[in-house]
Amino acid sequence: MGKSLAEAYPVARRTFEEANDVLGYDLARICWEGPSDELMSTTTCQPAMLTFSLAAYRVAKEHEIAGDVVLGHSLGEYSALVAVDSLRFDEALRLVSERAEAATEVSRAVPGSMAALLGLSDTDVEALCEEAGDVWPANYNCPGQVVASGRRRAVERLLDLAKTRGIKARLLDVDGAFHSSVMAPATDRLRDALASVRVSSPTLPFLSATSVAVERGERIRSILTAQLTAPVKFTQTVRAAREMGADRFVEFGPRRVLTGLVRRIHSDVETVHFGEPEDLPALAALASR
């Protein structure tokens, strides 16, 4: 993950080297060589995703490709805030590491999981979660795709309900009840960590998928704290961006996940993913229009 980008662009390599120095371990080696189990653990995956997405963004910026508004999906909000100079990269790395460790600690104490529900309206998912109990909508990814999160047994009940009613659902390969009230014990630890960093005014509008509003200044601290237990309202946020005039969306990261979601939310927008050197021509073409 990110190796070809770092080999092709010095700014991307320097981003990984900076992360290594801040974190005190060889994140680049784990991203580029594995093992995958180590990379996919919450405590490693979150700094890795931040580093990779920022490396890609810095390459784009070096090629004079810029946007008008930034947003992120869950952890991606940290990447977005670094991109618009609201958070320093080194401090964001420490924050996401703290966030990951706090969430992992909660997950060990209260086993939780997440499940994707397909083909239902948002209100139907909300009603099904309420019926199952101790499980809540966590990611409004796109119309017909909502992820629910909660205590493990509650998610199992939800899946049983879905099966008996012919609803498409699948358990996600995650080790916690992220974006649910189960994560409440982690908020104090993250709030304390956020209190020690400087949050500057973003150089571009930061559209939060937690509040579905443009956030700035000290509000950003409370948004990032609330994010631990609040659902990711990605569908609503993409629609808000579209209402602001956004008609071209660029995803920075290792996979083409969000571009697919954006197209399902708004079929009339253009999307491009940037995570590999071969993606640059398409990104440059999109930016030139």
- Give the span between the Cα atoms of 249 and 242, in whole angstroms: 10
Q: Which of 53, 73, 74, 79 is catalytic?
A: 74
User: Residue 59's Cα: distance from chain center in Å?
Assistant: 20
- In the residue annotation, 222 being an active-site residue is answered as no
- Answer yes or no: 273 catalytic: no
Residue 244: how many other CB atoms lie within 10 Å: 12
Among residues 179, 180, 208, 273, the one annotated as catalytic is 179
- Among left, alpha and beta (phi > 0; psi -120 to 50; other), residue 24 is left
- Contact yes or no for 48/39 (Cβ under 8 A): yes
Q: What is the dihedral of CA 13, 15, 48, 86, to 10 degrees?
A: -160
Catalytic residue numbers read 74, 179
